[in-house]
A = this chain, B = another copy of it.
Amino acid sequence: MTGLALIAGTGALPRLLAEALSEPFVLAEMEGFASEVGGQAPLRFRIERLVPFLDHLLDRGVRRVVLAGAMRRPQIEPELFDARTATLVPRLVAAMQAGDDATLRAVIGIFEEWGFDVLGADAVAPDLVPGPGILTGQVSAADAADAARGAEIVAALGAVDVGQGAVVAQGLCLALETLPGTDAMLHFAARHGGLRPDPAGARGVAYKAPKPGQDRRVDLPAIGPDTVAAAAAGGLAGIAWQAGGVLVLERARTIAAAEASGLFLWSREP
């Protein structure tokens, strides 16, 4: 087995992923995006010196990499480019102008051209990406209908490269995920929950899924204990997501929080 590197950005995911890894790994961080992963001194690299960094990883025997966490819109200092990385600038700049997803695809493409296998979180820590099944609680027929409606809406949104979440109650869309993220969507749904047509009817479902065309190896949507708390504050019945397409961070704590609030957690077969 060849060496593994974790390219770690900000947020909780890289740390949780590192804890779930069952083999030694090289930790790398982009300058300006320190991770929460402890336990070893990280290799630091700058995007302007990406090629020497890739060569260094190869020298250390690394052939497999996992990218995790946020590394968005790094500041670029043109005078720092080495000659070989400079040849990649047109590609990187074009990708950055096309958005975060395009940037990640470009970076993955470069890693692959250098001979690395780029792995997803599900490949190295399958417990973080649940397959189909109800993790806790009960899903009513009305909840299942709301989840199906949420899946339909999120797929339509994802096709225009927006959002990865929706809140649906009694068939009606209360909130959609946009740039401000999942928690902001759930707070909006909580603020307007009184619009449910039948106050005694289904309380609603938060649904999450990756974008249809998204590379599953990076930037999967995630839920965790905070998501459960925000969904509970909105009086929702539960959280459903596309099985195999969503990270569940801190699974034990997330399930305990859902049980304490009476919410279901449903990893739904797409």
Contacts and interface: CB of A to CB of B under 8 A. Distances in A.
Interface of A: 73, 99, 152-153, 156-157, 159-160, 162-163, 171-176, 178-180, 184, 188, 191-192, 195, 197
A99 B173 contact: no
A157, A174, A178, A192 pick with most chain B CB within 10 angstroms:
A178
B179 A184 contact: no
Contact of A160 (B156, B179, B197): B156
Kindly list the 10 A-B residue pairs having the minimum CB-CB distance in the complex, ordered from nearest: A180-B192, A156-B160, A176-B176, A162-B173, A173-B178, A172-B179, A153-B160, A179-B195, A156-B156, A174-B179
A33 to B, nearest CB: 16
B180 A195 contact: yes
Contacts of A197: 73
Contact of A174 (B160, B173, B175, B180): B180
A173 B184 contact: no
